[in-house]
């Protein structure tokens, strides 16, 4: 079954996928646009998982100033090529991440970066809270695990709910961008400044 050029064009506009990928998706889905989008998403996420090991040394450093100059963010986000770094999709993603950092105050990018001494302290506090409230020892470990997950969601950028769409977290948002752009993306480092932070008044 031949696929019309206009349908390929429409699918490209909706997904940003390449011509051959759009054609393949439409052929596999009998020219059903919605099924083709699902097909591309499934294929894209599988490809994104493979791309995550590739070196990303291009990209950009972006800034975001919020609250009339009260909060400022600098973040470095890498991709594989300078070409992709200049695309609207990548630039939109970098702005979204800078805004996320300004709004949600993450302390680390991912849970593996949390220092062991901080984790040990948090676990100890959660266990003491559970004991104080009379919880039996056998359930305390589960309570601590649950509270740790919440701690990661609040403190680690990749696990935070996206401020523009709380149904997805930043890791999922990034994976969808990798699938769409076709290159690995890495949030490398960030700094967040709040006016007067740390000063005693």
Q: What are phi and psi of 183, to 5 degrees?
A: -135, 155
Measure the CA–CA gap between 193 and 66, rounded to whole angstroms.
10
Rounded-to-integer distance, Cα 4 and Cα 27, Å: 10
Residue 157: both structure tokens together: 């950028």
Q: How many C-beta atoms surround the C-beta of residue 12 within 10 A?
A: 15
pTM of the model: 0.69
- Summarised one tens digit per residue, pLDDT across range 53-83 is 566 778 999 999 987 889 999 999 999 888 8
Determine the pLDDT at residue 109. Answer: 96
Q: Are 58-110+156-194 and 115-154 in the same CATH fold?
A: no
Using the predicted structure, report yes or no on whether residue 50 has a pLDDT greater than 70: no
Residue 12 to residue 18: CA distance in whole angstroms: 7
Helices 5-15, 19-28: inter-axial angle, 10-degree rounding: 110
The rounded distance, in Å, linking the Cα atoms of 25 and 36 is 5
Per-domain boundaries in the chain:
5-51, 58-110+156-194, 115-154
Could you give the percent of the chain with pLDDT greater than 70? 90
Q: Which of 48, 96, 89 is nearest to 75 (CA)?
A: 96
pLDDT in tens, 33-46: 888 878 877 776 55
DSSP 2: P
Q: What is the pLDDT of the chain when averaged over all its residues?
A: 85
pLDDT tens, position by position, 174-185: 988 888 888 889
What residue has token string 């600098």?
74
Percent share of the chain, pLDDT over 90: 40
Q: What is the pLDDT of residue 17?
A: 64
Q: What is the mean pLDDT of residues 116-138?
A: 86
Q: What CATH architecture does domain 115-154 belong to?
A: Orthogonal Bundle (1.10)
**Helices and strands of the chain, counted as H and E runs:** 8, 5
- Residue 43 in contact with residue 22, Cβ under 8 Å? no
Give me the CATH topology for the region 58-110+156-194: Tetrahydropterin Synthase; Chain A (3.30.479)
> Residue 44: what pLDDT?
64
Strands 165-169 and 161-162: antiparallel
Model pLDDT, residue 124: 87
pLDDT tens for 129-166 read 888 877 878 888 888 888 999 999 999 999 999 999 98
The CATH superfamily of 5-51 is: Ubiquitin-associated (UBA) domain (1.10.8.10)
If residue 25 lies in a helix (H) or strand (E), which one and from where to where? helix 19-28
């Amino acid at each position: 079954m031949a696929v019309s050029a206009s349908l390929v064009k429409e699918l490209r506009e909706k997904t940003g996928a390449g011509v051959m990928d759009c054609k393949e998706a439409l052929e596999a889905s009998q020219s059903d646009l919605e099924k083709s989008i699902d097909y591309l998403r499934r294929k894209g996420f599988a490809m994104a998982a493979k791309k995550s090991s590739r070196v990303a040394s291009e990209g950009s450093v972006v800034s975001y100033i919020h609250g009339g100059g009260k909060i400022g963010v600098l973040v470095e986000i890498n991709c594989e090529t300078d070409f992709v770094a200049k695309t609207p999709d990548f630039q939109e993603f970098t702005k979204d991440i800078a805004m996320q950092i300004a709004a949600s105050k993450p302390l680390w990018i991912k849970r593996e970066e949390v220092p062991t001494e901080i984790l040990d302290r948090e676990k100890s506090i959660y266990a003491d809270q559970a004991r104080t409230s009379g919880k039996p020892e056998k359930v305390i470990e589960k309570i601590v695990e649950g509270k740790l997950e919440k701690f990661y969601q609040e403190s680690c950028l990749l696990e935070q709910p996206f401020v523009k769409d709380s149904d997805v977290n930043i890791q999922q948002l990034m994976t969808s961008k990798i699938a769409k752009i076709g290159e690995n993306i890495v949030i490398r480092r960030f700094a967040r400044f709040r006016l007067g932070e740390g000063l005693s008044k």
